[in-house]
Amino acid sequence: MRPVQRRQQGLQYGVYLLAMQALNFGVDKIPPATLITIIGQVLLYVGLIKVPWNAEEVCISAIKVFKYYDWNSFIVSNFEHGSDMHLYYNMISLILKGSYLEPMYGAMNFVTLLAIFSLGCSAMYAGLGYGLMQLTGDYGYYTQCAIGFSAVLFALKVLLVCEEHDRIHDVGGFRVPSKIAVWVELILIHLLVPQSSFIGHLGGILVGCLYCYTFIGEIIDNIIGTVTGTPIIHEEQFYRRRSSFLR
């Protein structure tokens, strides 16, 4: 999401709504790493985690990365949010995706994967911004700034599709096959929420595709296993998708 206003500290409607939805879902049913990640982002948004920046100051853009080497934005932009409802929708999505993936991978493997996806999404966002500027001559792609966890969530969405058996997804009232669900969601969000970051969401999808469908995923799995000491285990469906794509 593009940062359009200064974050207001304190509890807002979206935060209350998130708390109610988490209680309805069952806090005890949310895996620990997912829950801690959500709590951390909520505390950061409401200002209980004290940091020496405003959310708008750490939005990521290609110019910040390639010209000014702003590594602070590169790392933390994914965890800041521009509004309480932006935070709400992202954290609800994380509850659903984390509740499926974390028990499968284990808490430490899932946290490590989130960290790698976060860095990958930042790199992809900056790379797309620079590449589109070079391709189109539009300097706006180079300077467009964004914050939020949405890109990581799109990467997780691709991963979720790779792990599960083919089925029909409901995306905004449209019933579509799983293999195109993430692309339909990308287009719908761009049409319904034009201030959202299309480049960020697209970057998240591409990061997810690199992980699921290329040798890069195997390298990441090896890194995760080395860091945590526990191999990351995928469903058989995941390996079939990766091997069929690489043939």
The mean pLDDT of 93-105, rounded to a whole number, is 96
SS3 222: helix
Catalytic residue numbers, as ranges:
150, 201
pTM, full prediction: 0.91
Question: Was domain 13-246 assigned CATH 1.20.1540.10?
Answer: yes
pLDDT of residue 246: 56
How high is the pLDDT of residue 204?
A: 97
pLDDT at 6 over 50: no
How do residues 195-208 score in pLDDT, each as one tens digit?
889 999 999 999 99
Q: What pLDDT score does 155 carry?
A: 98
What is d(CA 174, CA 18) in angstroms, rounded to the nearest whole number? 25
Residue 124: strand pairing partners: none
239 versus 100: which is more confidently predicted? 100
- Residue closest to 148 by CA, chosen among 205, 90, 218, 195: 90
For the residues 65-92, what does the mean pLDDT come to?
95
| The pLDDT value given to residue 11 | 61
Q: Per residue in 150-176, pLDDT tens? A: 999 999 999 999 988 777 767 767 677
Q: Is residue 61 a contact partner of residue 144, using CB atoms and an 8 Å limit?
A: yes
Residue 6: CB atoms within 10 Å: 11
Asked if pLDDT for residue 236 goes beyond 80, the answer is no
The string of pLDDT tens digits covering residues 20-76 is 999 999 999 999 999 999 999 999 999 999 999 998 899 999 999 999 999 999 999
Provide the pLDDT confidence category of residue 4 given band limits of 50, 70 and 90: very low
* pLDDT tens, residue by residue, 111-150: 999 999 999 999 999 999 999 999 999 999 999 999 999 9
Strand runs (DSSP E) across 120-173, as ranges?
A: 168-171
Backbone angles phi, psi at 185, to 5 degrees: -65, -40
φ and ψ at residue 25, rounded to 5 degrees: -70, -35
- Measured CA to CA, the distance from residue 193 to residue 198 in angstroms comes to 10
State the Cα torsion 137-142-144-150 to the nearest 10°: 110
